[in-house]
Amino acid sequence: MDVGIVSYGAYIPRYRIKPEEIGRVWGVDGKAMGKGLFINQKSVPSPDEDVVTIAAEAARNMMARVPDVDPKDIGAVYVGSESHPYAVKPTATIVAESICATPNMTAADMEFACKAGTAGIQVCMGLVGSGMVRYGVAIGADTSQGAPGDALEYSASAGGAAYLIGSENIIAKINKTLSFTTDTPDFWRREGMPYPKHGGRFTGEPAYFRHVTSAAKMMMEAMGTKPEDYKYAIFHQPNGKFPTRVAAQLGFTNEQIAQGLLTPEIGNTYSGAVPLGLASVLDVAEPGDRIFVTSYGSGAGSDAFDITVTDNIKDYRRENAPTVAQRMAKTVVIDYARYAMFKDKIVMPSSE
Amino acid sequence: MSSVAKEWREIPGRYNLEGSKCPCCGKVYFPKRNMCPVCRRESIGKMEPYSISRKGEVYTFSIIHDAPDFTTKLKPYAVAMVKTTDGIMISAQLVDVDPADVRIGMPVRAVLRKIKTDGPDGVIHYGYKFVPDE
Ligand SMILES: [Zn+2]
């Protein structure tokens, strides 16, 4: 049985802040910081947005493109995030309710730093492939926080994408998935702490680069493929610099990664990053296009996917929901004061 | 603090604009009702759930400058009477739009947003707001 993507939907909040504005507040050359990270601006959620609302919008966009799919045929909903609004109480149940998929289904929240969304796709593939469910929904979404003044504040942003995984009318077949996972403490956040901590330079070579290149090489070896066999490649993008460098190390060109590289204009959407990059590629993909995907989550692991777009994409109702490019076109740039208010960094009188 | 149980019962309406339709005269109500005020006793126990369209247009609106606590970070903002494509009137906050750009007849669609939170340790209430439909 072929298992793959039946539909997808993306969501990115409307507000943006620029590195030079963040740097202005902290006495840092933000422009140079942004240049070093390849980040021109990052998305900021509205005060009434969180992972639930972002995941729900992505899921509704996903369902809008497949009007013939009955949401009651969805047997599983997984939301991957490192910024679930509740410590206890699943995001996934709220999102499932918002697409009318409840109650005959299973649901859970996933956590694996920036790769919880792709982990959900793998779980859904297993459930669909084994015949346990007809459709599974996997969502990666985050409203990530960087500590004020920390390097992460220049990149940590918000957004998400949802995938309907199934075996009928798939627009993209997932030929294979595999993972590379180790215990690597490059980035973490303890229970109750508002901001994550990271191992500084340690987050590069032994963490991101080792896991991404290992998973990617394993995949090409398993499939007997070379970088030039793929039309598009999407790598996890904590900034613009890492995916560009890892692509070059593996032998992929800038043309192959351009369509799926969104971080320079929206920042690092964490669990949303690779799912959004893949959504941007599917927005323009044509039958036969082969797509290479490798996510990365600190802690640490990488999930790789080898995907082929099918003829079904010709009849697929992409136009029923906004594309990633359309979501990125209408933005409002805010200053640090408004950003601080939006992100609850200003102490308000307790009257709620 | 609002009643968690009462809010829970309203979830289908607040998330998915589920109203009710009278099987006798066909009239649609939002929020949902247990009885049609026209057909009265004839409709009791027969009202059917009805999914109202999430798309519509601004029928009329007002700009709010003095906002309740939770929405204070978004002020000034518009509250609109939205006429959905199936003709139902729903009043809700408009977001992701500059109040100066709001116009009567503007196409809008319903999205899920945080409505309020019961303090730092209470329930988060989600519900519909409207954004420009572009
Ligand atoms: Zn009636």
Segment A280-289, tens digit of pLDDT: 999 999 999 9
Give the per-residue pLDDT at A352: 45
pLDDT of residue A131: 98
Whether B115 contacts chain A with CB within 8 A? yes
- Cβ of B114 and A57 within 8 Å? no
Instruction: Tell me the CA–centroid distance for residue B46 and ligand 1, in Å.
Output: 10
Sheet with A332-333, strands from edge to edge, namely: A42-44, A15-17, A332-333
The answer to pTM > 0.95 is yes
Tell which residue, A145, A154, A140, A148, has the closest CA to residue A34: A154
Instruction: Give CA A250 to chain center in angstroms.
Output: 21
* pLDDT score recorded for residue B54: 96
Q: Give mean pLDDT, residues A196-220.
A: 91
- Report how far residue A125's alpha carbon sits from residue A5's, in angstroms, rounded to the nearest whole number: 9
Average pLDDT over residues B32-60: 95
Q: How far apart are CA B81 and CA B58, in angstroms?
A: 6
- Cis amide prior to B76 (ω within 30 degrees): yes
User: Residues A49, A57, A114, A153: which is the catalytic one?
Assistant: A114
Q: In what order do the strands lie in the sheet with A290-294?
A: A106-110, A74-80, A135-143, A158-166, A4-11, A172-184, A299-309, A290-294, A232-235
Residue B123 is predicted with a pLDDT of 94
Q: Convert the pLDDT of each residue in A225-270 to its tens digit.
A: 999 999 999 999 999 999 999 999 999 999 999 999 999 999 999 9
- Is the torsion defined by CA of A283, A227, A139, A170 positive or negative? positive
B50 C-alpha to center of ligand 1: Å? Answer: 14
| Mean pLDDT of the region A33-48 | 96
Q: Given this model, what pLDDT does residue B2 score?
A: 59
**Partner B contacted by A72 (CB < 8 A):** no
- pLDDT above 60 (res A351): no
Q: A174-312 belongs to which CATH class?
A: alpha beta
Determine whether A100 is an active site residue: no
Please name which of B96, B121, B111, B118 lies closest in space to residue B14, comparing C-alpha atoms: B111
Chain A stretch 280-309, residues whose beta carbon is closer than 8 A to a beta carbon of chain B: none
Rounded average pLDDT over A165-188: 96
B95 touches chain A (CB under 8 A): yes
Nearest by CB to residue B73, choosing from A57, A322, A341, is A341
The ranges of chain A annotated as CATH 3.40.47.10 are 4-172+323-342, 174-312
Alpha carbon of B111 to ligand 1 centroid (Å) = 29
Residue B69 predicted with pLDDT over 90: no
Under an 8 A CB cutoff, do B113 and A85 touch?
no
pLDDT of residue A248: 98
Asked if A105 contacts A76 with a C-beta cutoff of 8 angstroms, the reply is yes
pLDDT digits (tens, 9 = 90+) for B80-126: 999 999 999 999 999 999 999 999 999 999 999 999 998 889 999 99
Q: How far is Cα A336 from Cα A67, in angstroms, rounded to an integer?
A: 41
CATH of domain B53-132: 2.40.50
ipTM metric: 0.94
Supply the pLDDT for residue A350.
66
DSSP H helix total and E strand total for chain A: 12, 14
At B1, is the pLDDT very low, low, confident or very high (cuts 50, 70, 90)? very low
Query: Which site among B4, B17, B111, B112 would you substitute to test the A interface, given the most A Cβ atoms closer than 10 Å to its Cβ?
Result: B112
Region A35-62: what's the mean pLDDT? 97
CATH of domain A4-172+323-342: 3.40.47.10
Window from A42-46, A49-53, A159-163, A185-189 with minimum mean pLDDT: A185-189
Residue A202 pLDDT: 73
Identify the residue among B51, B73, B74, B95 best suited for mutation to test binding to A, counting A beta carbons within 10 A and taking the highest.
B73
Compute φ and ψ for A4, nearest 5 degrees: -170, -160
Q: Which chain A residue is nearest to residue B13, measuring alpha carbons?
A: A98
CA distances from B20 to B17, B29, B57, B92 (A): 10, 5, 21, 19
d(CA B123, CA B117): 6
Whether the CB of A86 is below 8 Å from some CB of chain B: the reply is yes
Contact B25, B35 (CB under 8 A): no
A153 in active site: no
Gap from CA of B53 to ligand 1 centroid (Å): 20
Do residues B48 and B61 lie in contact, with contact meaning Cβ atoms separated by under 8 Å?
no
Chain B: residue nearest A49 by CA? B113
Asked whether A41 and A267 are in contact (CB, 8 A), the reply is yes
- Inter-chain touch B114–A341, beta carbons under 8 Å: no
Q: Where are the beta strands (DSSP E) in chain A?
A: 4-11, 15-17, 42-44, 74-80, 106-110, 135-143, 158-166, 172-184, 187-188, 197-198, 232-235, 290-294, 299-309, 332-333
Residue A207: φ, ψ to 5°: -105, -85
> Does residue B6 carry a pLDDT above 90?
no
Pick the range with the lowest mean pLDDT from A67-76, A133-142, A201-210, B82-91.
A201-210
**For residues A109 and A87, is the Cβ–Cβ distance under 8 A?**
no
